[in-house]
Every structure is written in structure tokens, then in C-alpha cells.
Amino acid sequence: MIKLIVSDEIIQEAFNIVEGVYSPLQGFLHKKELDSVLHKMRLENGNVWPMPILMDISKEEYHRIGKARSILIENQEGNVTFRIDDISLYQYDMDILSEKLFGTLDISHPGAAKFSKMKPFLVSGILTLVYDRRPDKFPYYFSPQESRAIFRKNNWPTIAAFQTRNPPHRSHEHLQKSALEVTEGLFINPIIGEKKSGDFSDKHILEAYKLLIRDYFPDKKVVLGTFHTFMRYAGPKEALFHAIVRRNFGCTHMIIGRDHAGVGSYYGTYDAQKIFDNFSLSELGIEILKFENAVFCDDCAEIVFENQCSHNNSSKSSFSASLLRESFREGKAIFQTQMRKNVADYLAKNKETLFV
């Protein structure tokens, strides 16, 4: 059987499919399915699904596969192999893909730039894991079966998911604790994988959250687990994708705040919340917690939601991951109104390796 050596990214997406993280997908999308996802945010059978999950190959690999109906894909180390059956090979207009997914062809958008560099052919088919002989597994990753078992063991009938690609500032903490007022448990689920240059590194995001959970959350109310994929920066459609994935992990609620999965000014501040108005709770299978922007109000002397008090906007300051990145780079002081001291101290001590 023909065997292709593929990137770790494609291998990880294959794991996400076969382990149910991307349920109901059973393989990489074929052409008609991709059309439906891009134009309708649904699979052909009507299930809500907004994100292209694709395997790209070169012209040389296309000719190698030829008319084969099954192939093997393997990582560089040769310790993970998947079989793809009932394959089809096709090309797709990447301008259409970028315009429908990101709303732009501008390669200044990191997602559009990444997709513009894809190889010219795509492979679809049903995935099966042949073997996984990796010596080291991710210590904070739980498959959907494992995460659901943890939630049952904790006796959590309701669980709120929180997606992040940054260490926690006080606004994040406020959203998380607000979610715990309506659910029994919290699943903090950082994305681990490729991000744009200048983003916080995966290691330090995890370490920062471990400190926050240890010192500032009630015992046995929070699970920290990782979601292994790459950031698309697709704003509203990625927010929808993130919610479906967290449903698959077993969460009943999903926190969607300001500018979820956005970048620059490509999306409106609350577009990531508005997209959910197009779908019913029964078809999503997860309830969306649409929180307003959390700010620090000088007059209240605490963190509040933007319209939660009557004080003037001049007394309110917003939180920003980009401003925090700038402060850490320049060695500026981080105030406890912005970030917990133990978290800020840890990040400051690791300034040299803090960013990708």
C-alpha cells in the first residue's frame, strides 16, 4: 500500500478525527462536503460544521497515489500510522476557501496566509488508526471519552468550556467564575499548536493556568485540558467550531466573549456571539454563554461587565492580551487589576521564552 510521510499537523488532525474530537467527521472532507461546509456551515447530512478539515498533497504525491483506493499516512518518526480508505483526490479554489472561511483574501490575515500556502491537491477518505507507538503522550490531553469520564466522576451535570490561546488575565478569570455561577464545573481548554508569531508559547500558557487554578479557584471545580490543533483566526466560524469541539469533549456550555478567535480588525467585536443566532440549541448540543466585555471599574474598585454599573466609561479600563504582550516584552509593571501577581511574576521570569 502506498505510504505518504506527512506533517505532524496532519497527523494531529487525523487523531482529532478518529478520537471523536471532530465528531461527526470520519475523515478529511471530500469536495462536495467542503462546498457545503464553506457555503452553509453544515455537512451534507445537515449537521452543523463550519471548519474545513483537510489533507493537502503535492503534485508528485497526487501522481503516486494514482487510482489507489486506500493509502497509509505516517509521521516523520514512523511511530504513528493511519489508513485512509475510499479516497478521492481533488483540487479546490483556495480563493473561494479563504473568502468563505476568513472573509478576506488578504494574506496579512494569518489564517488566509497559511491556507494560501497549501499544496495543490486535497485527499479525502475514511480514517483508521493503524498504530500509535509514540513514547510520550501529552500530559494534559484528554480524549472526549476521557474528559466525559472525568466530568462524570466529578459529578458535574453541567460543564462550561473556556477556549484560550493566552495566559489568563483578570477578565478571563471573571468570565470563568461567572460561568461557574451557572454550571457545576469548568473545563479550561487551551489550544496547543501552531500560532502566529508573537503569540504566547504553549508551555507558559499551561503553567500560568496551573498557578491560577491552584491559588484562585475553588477545589475540584476546574479541569485543565488541552485541545491540540492550530489557530485559524477565523473569528465567528472558528467560535462555532470551538463550541462543537467542546460539546464533543462533554461540555454543556461554552463561554464566548469579545472577539473570540479574531485577529486585527477583520471581525466585529461581538460577531463571534452573533453567529450562534443562526442555530438552535438542539442542533448545536451546547449552550452558549454570551458574556459582555469585562472591565476594571475604578469607581467600583472591581472587575465588572461593561454595562453592569452606571459609572462613566472614563473610569473603566479594558483588558487586552496584545497590551499584556507588549508590557512583558518591554518589562513594564503588570498590576494586580490586570493579572494575578503569581501569574504575572511567573511570566515575567520567563520573558526570554514567553513568545513564539
Q: What is the pLDDT of residues 49-58, one digit of tens each?
A: 999 999 999 9
| Residues 295, 302: Cα–Cα separation, whole Å | 8
Give the CATH number of domain 3-132: 3.10.400.10
> What integer pLDDT is reported at residue 23 of this predicted model?
98
Q: What digits encode the pLDDT tens for the residues 169-185? A: 999 999 999 999 999 99
Catalytic residue among 75, 165, 258, 340: 165
pTM: predicted TM-score of the whole model, two decimal places: 0.95
Region(s) of the chain under CATH 3.40.50.620? 144-353
Catalytic residue among 75, 166, 189, 248: 166
> What integer pLDDT is reported at residue 115 of this predicted model?
95
* Low-confidence stretches of the chain (pLDDT beneath 50): none
Q: In degrees rounded to 5, what are phi and psi of residue 162?
A: -130, 120
| Residues 269, 253: Cα–Cα separation, whole Å | 21
> What integer pLDDT is reported at residue 315 of this predicted model?
86
Q: What digits encode the pLDDT tens for the residues 292-336? A: 889 999 999 999 998 899 998 888 888 888 889 999 999 999 998
Annotated catalytic residue 83: no
**Top CATH class, 144-353:** alpha beta
Annotated catalytic residue 166: yes
Region(s) of the chain under CATH 3.10.400.10? 3-132
